[in-house]
Structure 1
């Protein structure tokens, strides 16, 4: 398992421990916890993603992933709050590799894995009230990201994110 994956698992376990400990403290917590979900609008696979260090699940091309506990956000939203989103993509998730376990597989997989791409961006944290249903991260073409804190999950007509699930990558991404 790669260092980044082990690190993501450790951060996830740590965040779960924080949630448990927060429940034992006296008074109101300074944070809210909500599920961390992802929606992949691209043809690449999302091998993993994280938001402010809280790990999310892998997501198939044009698919959904998540329900991971938990993303911790400030109890009270205020303007200017930011999130750091990091993710790794497999640009060729349907590559045909030799039989699993063979020496040919290991060599082919090493070549395949060398094409993985790591990305990172900072996005605004959308407003939310005094409760948090979930933090939903949308991965769009050209390595763009949108985030929702709405209780209406994609693809509900009430979801604030309206982009279609199966988006095409343009030949040239705008800068």
Structure 2
């Protein structure tokens, strides 16, 4: 295969979007959610992985957290990887990392990125489905389960555990 053939082969491969987020909690177990201004529903702090720059999912979760809420927190362990089928868009592979339990000082330091976010709030785990749309509610619930049980990272499809 020539270099030109290889480049054509790579250009013709299917596209997959990739994102990463951090799951932050307070001392009472509530989950930190952010409210985007560009779509309905709430989300975890996170966003698109900038693969063109060589960014890894872990680096993206940290960068997006800093950009969106102003906190520079090293992500903990990987909790879940979710393959989300798309309608009218390529599939998404979404990584969720443990952001840890934030201190009162860290919560007071949160500053939302006004270009993308309206607000943030802490939500009880049993109320997450009220705020999170589609498979994201299942993804966050599965990630909380991974934290509670101490299991390794979960493989998910559309937010549901596989296997």
Tell whether the structures are fold-level matches, with TM greater than 0.5: no
- Per the normalisation by structure 2, the TM-score is 0.29
Structure with max Cα Rg = 1
Higher helix share: 2
| Larger relative contact order (CA 8 Å, sep ≥ 6) | 2
Higher strand share: 1
- Per the normalisation by structure 1, the TM-score is 0.27
